[in-house]
Chain A
């Protein structure tokens, strides 16, 4: 019964995410609304952690598996990118590295700054 109940809650929240997606005219998928709903449910105590944990962690463990079919689909995309692939590849690489490093640096510097402030307060 435990796993069935956990699965039921996660599927129900996924469905609620779809309902929100239907009513809110934004290009935001059901999964993002669902994640916000489940987090709100957990944080408010409405959904106890024990009511979703094992089944949820199983799904998280196989998350990459669920994306794998889409990635394998890259073999069929040559036709649509063949004219400009080098340009596209360069832009994709460069922007990904810029974002990664900029974000990492900003988070680390902000943390250091607020840690310093706390020490100063004490």
Chain B
């Protein structure tokens, strides 16, 4: 019965998505504990609901894709918090640029090293090369290089989730506390999903993370073209 109503509904998917996230944020506000990571809780609520009522993902996505449609204007709008932190950007541009270049190089090099250790073939290797950048760029690079772009998307999403979940304890452990450093680290390692965490932490973190997505995305396009030749 629920499945009948839901199939053919345009707003069910959108409602479940916005509802899950709002509930996740309310839980975070109520309990405050870092275990209530809004993104993780929202994903679990959405997926849990679909599994519980045996609603196929495709049915859900029929409506949810209208929410996803806003991802482009939302990403474009990241320029606004970035512009508001123009002073911090100007003041630290050397460190920010050094960090972003480090991010692109360490991502490509660590994928290369692990691909050798785990014995990945060329097709698998290029699938992982663009793992740190935002999914639209990464998918494009992977397809361009002849990788499994569907797996690239999975790996990129997972990278974002890992960054969003573990950034705070990991960065604290390594005594990385400066807001600019935290922001660039999040954006470089885990793209837009990491940036959502950076926005939660603070405005400087969010702005630096937004900047890192763009610059490291563009640098990775060039870097991956070179690294494709190594395996």
Contact = CB atoms under 8 A, between A and B. Distances in A.
A75 to B, nearest CB: 5
Contacts of B193: 64, 67, 71
B170 to A, nearest CB: 6
A34 B180 contact: no
Given A68-B43, A103-B106, A91 B114 contact: yes
B169 to A, nearest CB: 11
Interface residues of B, number: 107
B99 to A, nearest CB: 4
B163 A64 contact: no
Nearest to B105: A102
A104 B77 contact: no
The A contact surface, by secondary structure, is: helix
Given A106-B98, A110-B99, A36 B214 contact: yes
Nearest to A30: B72
A35 B180 contact: no
B51 interface: yes
Nearest to B143: A27
A76 interface: yes
B2 interface: no
The B contact surface, by secondary structure, is: helix
Contact of A68 (B21, B170, B176): B21
Nearest to A79: B150
Contacts of B182: 104
Nearest to B197: A64
| A-side interface size class | 35 or more
10 contacts: A26-B140, A35-B78, A35-B210, A37-B76, A75-B50, A90-B114, A91-B128, A95-B111, A103-B106, A111-B181
Interface of B: 13, 17-18, 20-21, 38-39, 42-43, 46-47, 50-51, 57, 60-61, 64-65, 67-84, 86, 92, 94-96, 98-100, 102-103, 106-107, 110-111, 114-115, 118, 120, 124, 128, 131-132, 134-137, 139-141, 143-144, 148, 150-151, 153-155, 157-163, 166-167, 170-171, 174, 176, 178, 180-182, 184-186, 188-190, 192-193, 195-196, 199, 210, 213-214, 217-218, 221
Interface of A: 10-11, 13-14, 17, 26-32, 34-39, 42-43, 49, 52-53, 55-57, 59-60, 62-77, 80-81, 84, 87-108, 110-111, 114
